[in-house]
Chain A
Amino acid sequence: MSNGNALEVKNLRKNFGELKAVQGINFDVRQGEIFSLLGPNGAGKSTTISMLSGLLAPAEGDALIMGHSIRSDATAARACLGVVPQDIALYPDLSARENMVFWGKMYGLRGAALKSRVDEILKVIGLVERQRDRVGTFSGGMKRRVNIGVALLHKPQVIIMDEPTVGIDPQSRRHILDNVKDLNAQGMTVLYTTHYMEEAQELSNHIAIMDQGKIVAYGTHDELIRLVGEQARIELTLNTEAGRVLDAWRTVEGVSRVSAEDGKATLLVNDSNRVLPRLFESANRCGARINGVDIQEPNLETVFLHLTGKALRD
Chain B
Amino acid sequence: MKIFDIALKDLIRSLRNLFAIGMMLVAPILIVGLISMAFGGMNSGKVDLPELKVGVVNQDVPPAGLPSMGQAMVDLLNDPSVSSWLKPQAMPDETSARSAVDNQKIGLAVVIPAGFTASLLAGKGGSDLVLVQDPTLTVGPTVVKNMAGSLMDGVTGARLALGMVSQSPAADSKTLQNVSSQFQAWFTNFQRTLYHSPDTALAISAPAANGSTPASAAQNMMGLVMAGMMVFFAFYTGAYAMMSILREEEEGTLARLFTTPTGRTTILAGKFLAVFLMVIIQSLVLMGAGTVAFKIVWGAALPTALVVMAQVAAAGGLGVLLISLVKSSRQAGPVLGGALTGLGMLGGLFTVAVNMPAAFDMVTRATPQGWVMQGWRMVFTSGQMADVLVPCAVSIALGVVMFIIGARIFNRRFA
The answer for the CA separation of A56 and B218 in the assembled complex, in Å, is 59
Q: Which residue of A lies closest to B256 (CB)?
A: A89
Tell me how far the C-beta of B1 lies from the nearest C-beta in chain A, rounded to whole angstroms. Answer: 8
Contact B17 A93 (CB under 8 A): yes
Q: Judging by beta carbons under 8 Å apart, are B261 and A76 in contact?
A: yes
Q: In the complex, how many residue pairs between chain A and chain B have their CB atoms under 8 Å apart? A: 59
Contacts of B253 in A (CB 8 A): 89-91
In the complex, the chain B residue whose C-beta lies closest to that of A106 is: B260
| A88 to B263 alpha-carbon distance, docked (Å) | 22
A106 adjacent to B255 (CB under 8 Å): no
Question: Does chain B have a CB within 8 A of A108?
Answer: yes
Known interface pairs A93-B13, A94-B9, A105-B2. Does A75 touch B261 (Cβ–Cβ under 8 Å)? Answer: yes
Tell me the minimal C-beta distance from B16 to chain A in angstroms. Answer: 5
| A216 at interface by CB-CB < 8 Å | no
B260/A94 in contact, CB under 8 A: no
B252 and A88 contact, CB distance less than 8 A: yes
B75 within 8 A of partner (CB): no
**Cβ-defined contact, B5 with A87, below 8 A:** no
Q: Is B199 an interface residue (CB 8 A)?
A: no
A55 engages B259 (CB within 8 Å)? yes
Is A187 among interface residues, defined by CB-CB distance under 8 A? no
Q: Contact string, B18-46, partner A, CB cutoff 8 A, digits 1/0? A: 00000000000000000000000000000
Complex: chain A residue closest to B4, CB-CB: A105
Q: Does A126 contact B (CB under 8 A)?
A: no
Q: 1/0 per position for A73-117, CB-CB distance to B under 8 A? A: 001101101010101111111100010001101111010000000
Are A81 and B5 neighbours in the complex by a CB distance under 8 Å? no
Segment 122-143 of A: residues with Cβ below 8 Å from B: none
Minimum CB distance partner of A76 in chain B: B261
The answer to whether A54 has its CB under 8 Å from any CB of chain B is: yes
Question: Interface size class for chain A?
Answer: 20 to 34
Q: Please tell me if the beta carbons of A105 and B256 are within 8 angstroms of each other in the complex.
A: no
In contact, B252 and A89 (Cβ under 8 angstroms): yes
The answer, yes or no, to whether B257 is at the interface (CB within 8 Å) is yes
Tell me whether B166 is interfacial, beta carbon within 8 Å. Answer: no
Name the residue of chain A whose CB is nearest to the CB of B16: A93
Q: Are B263 and A75 in contact, with the CB atoms below 8 A?
A: yes
Which of A54, A89, A102 contacts B251, CB < 8 Å?
Answer: A89
Q: Is B259 touching A53 in the complex (CB atoms < 8 A)?
A: yes
Determine the chain B residues whose CB is within 8 A of the CB of A54 once the complex forms.
Answer: 258-259
With a cutoff of 8 Å between Cβ atoms, the chain A residues found around residue B252 in the complex are 85, 87-89
In A15-74, which residues have CB < 8 Å from any B CB?
53-55, 57
Do residues A78 and B5 form an inter-chain contact, with CB atoms below 8 A?
A: no
- CB within 8 Å for A106 and B12 given contacts A54-B259, A75-B263, A88-B252: no
0 or 1 for each of B261-274: is its CB under 8 Å from A? (1 = yes)? 11100000000000
Residues of B235-258 at the interface with A, using a CB-CB cut-off of 8 Å, are 251-253, 255-258
Query: C-beta contact mask, B392-410 vs A, less than 8 Å → 1, else 0?
Result: 0000000000000000000
Complex interface: chain A residues within 8 A of B415 (CB): 57
Task: Decide: B263 and A83 in contact? CB cutoff 8 A.
Answer: no
Residues of A close to B12: CB separation below 8 A? 94, 98
Contact B261 A94 (CB under 8 A): no
Chain B, 58-100, contact with A by CB distance < 8 Å: what is the 0/1 string? 0000000000000000000000000000000000000000000
Among A78, A94, A105, contact of B259 (Cβ-Cβ < 8 Å): A78
In contact, A91 and B251 (Cβ under 8 angstroms): yes
When distances are taken between beta carbons in the complex, the residues of chain B under 8 Å from A55 are 255, 258-259
Q: Are B259 and A81 in contact (CB under 8 A)?
A: yes
Chain A residue, CB-CB nearest to B5:
A105
Cβ contacts under 8 Å, B262 to chain A: 106
Query: Min CB distance, A161 to chain B, in Å?
Result: 13
- Bound complex: CA A107 to CA B257 (Å): 9
**Which chain B residues lie closer than 8 Å to A57 at the CB level?**
415
Which of A79, A87, A93, A106 meets B257, CB within 8 Å? A106
Whether A106 and B258, one on each chain, are in contact in the complex, defined by CB atoms closer than 8 angstroms, is no
A85 and B13 contact, CB distance less than 8 A: no
Q: Using A55-B255, A105-B5, A106-B5 as known contacts, say yes or no to A78 and B260 having CB atoms under 8 A apart.
A: yes
Taking CB atoms, residues of chain B closer than 8 Å to A75 are 261, 263
| Chain A residues with CB below 8 A from B255, complex form | 55, 85, 89
Residues of A contacting B259 with CB < 8 Å?
Answer: 53-55, 78, 81, 83
How distant is A137 from chain B, measured CB to nearest CB, in Å? Answer: 13
Minimum CB–CB distance from A160 to chain B (whole Å) comes to: 9
* Minimum CB–CB distance for A157 against chain B, Å: 13
Closest-by-CB residue of A relative to B247 is A91
B371-415 toward A: CB 8 Å interface, digit per residue (1/0)?
000000000000000000000000000000000000000000001
Among residues of A, the one whose C-beta sits closest to the C-beta of B263 is: A75
A94 x B256 contact (CB < 8 A): no
Apart from A75-B261, A93-B17, A106-B2, list 4 A-B contacts with CB within 8 A.
A85-B255, A89-B256, A92-B251, A93-B16
B residues sitting closer than 8 Å to A (CB atoms) are 1-2, 5, 9, 12-13, 16-17, 251-253, 255-263, 415
Q: Which 6 A-B pairs have the closest CB atoms?
A: A89-B252, A89-B256, A79-B261, A106-B260, A53-B259, A78-B261
Question: Can you offer 27 A-B residue contacts whose CB atoms are under 8 A?
Answer: A54-B258, A55-B255, A55-B259, A75-B261, A75-B263, A78-B260, A78-B261, A79-B261, A83-B259, A85-B252, A87-B252, A90-B251, A90-B253, A91-B9, A91-B251, A93-B13, A94-B12, A94-B13, A98-B12, A102-B5, A103-B260, A105-B1, A105-B2, A105-B5, A106-B257, A106-B261, A107-B261
